[in-house]
Each structure stands twice: as C-alpha cells, then as structure tokens.
Amino acid sequence: SCAYTTDRAMCEKQGRLFTFAAIVDSAGLLGDAAKGCGYQMMCNLGRNVQGICPDGWRIPNYDEYTTLIEVMGDEGIAGRNLKAVEYGGTDSVGFSLLISGRHIEFQRLSSPENLYEFMDNSANLWTITESTSDAVLAYRFFADYDYVGQDMCSKYIAHPLRCVKGEASRLAPGQFAPEAVVKGTFTDSRDGNVYKTVQIADQVWMAEYLRYAADGVAVCYDNLEENCAKYG
C-alpha cells in the first residue's frame, strides 16, 4: 500500500509500505529464492537477498544499519543527521529519511479493516535480519527526536524499505568462519614445552594452559604432575 493513503501523490513522495513477505518476494514474482517465506516462518535467507529491490540492489542487513547509525553520530543523534529537513533533521548527507508510519491489515468479523498509524510520528525501516518467526530486527526513527531506537518489525505489518547496493560481506561484524581458523603449534624456548595454537581472525591464542614451571609461584593441582600436563 502507499504510505498512509492510497493517494498516488503520497506514494510518489513517501514510497510504499510492504510486509516482510512482500519485500522478500514470497510470491515468487521476481524469482524463487524466497518463495513461500513470510509470517510465522523463520526463513534464514542469508545476507544477500535481492527480494523486490532492483537488480544490483538488495534488502539491508541489521548490522549495516548499525554501521550507518554509528557513522552518523550513534543512536543519540543519528536521526538528526539522516532525517529530511521537514522532520527536524539536518539531512547532512542527503539520506533524506521520511517518517512514513506503517500499515496494518486485519480481519474484524467479516469486514476487512485497514489501519494506518504513526505517520509523521515514527518509522521502522525493514532489514533482512530475522529475530523470530514473527519479527525482524529494525531501527526506529522519530519525527520529534534525534535518537534512533532499536526495535523489531512485525512481519505482517507493512513498513517502508530502503535498498542498499552491492553484495554484503559474507559474515556480520563480530562473526567469523570456523573453517577460516588456523591451527598450529608453538614451542616455548625456555623449557621446550610444545603448545597447540589457534588463530581466530587476527588473534593467535594458545589452545592449552601454560605449563611453565615458575619457581615459587606455580603449582600443579593436588601437586600431581599429570594435572600439570593436562591443565597447566
């Protein structure tokens, strides 16, 4: 639906409001990658989902919004820098975010009901990062406040979508691929003890406890040498 109305002019300005099933192309109108995915279903579609975005563009991940917000001054003031001037923002980088509300369609008795709410109050922007089978992680922008709040979008409620260009990194920040871990060994030149090592991202760790016999300051558990060999 159009933002807050069926008026074509409002659609031109605010864009449309989409359910989660619509943004991932659950109906398979543009492809089969997310066919059947929607409400009450954990889809786990990955980090590169075109959905209904144009070719070369995709649905953003939650961590990509997190990065954007950090770059724009963090949660306390990012809204001011990203919002359009008409919503009290400075629009300092031309992101021109509009506060377009949301739409809920539901059945009440035998008559369909359409509820538009939060126009000129707040807006959640879709991400592809699911929280539960019913909700997706999001950030909420406000007309009257500069801060940006962490939130969740209900999959059956229609929210606005901004697409992002290019492929996402294979892993979100803070994650790593287990197959990329490098295992090795290290020999302590002081006493000849050989230790297993593991490299995780840019850090190399001992994969065993230190066994160095520091006189007077180190003991084996229960004074048993076999405990030193296993536990350090």
SS (H, E, C) 24-80: CCCCCCCCCCCCCCCCCCCCCCCCCCCCCCCCCEECCCHHHHHHHHHHCCCCCCHHH
According to the model, what pLDDT value does residue 178 have?
76
The per-residue pLDDT for range 59-93, each reduced to its tens digit, is 999 999 999 999 999 999 999 999 999 999 999 99
Question: If you count DSSP H runs as helices and E runs as strands, how many of each does the chain have, helices first?
Answer: 5, 10
Q: How far apart are CA 4 and CA 10, in angstroms?
A: 8
pLDDT tens readout for residues 19-74:
999 999 999 998 898 998 988 889 999 999 999 999 999 999 999 999 999 999 99
pLDDT in tens, 114-142: 788 888 899 999 999 999 999 999 999 99
The pTM score is 0.75
CA-closest candidate to residue 24, choices 2, 4, 40, 48: 48
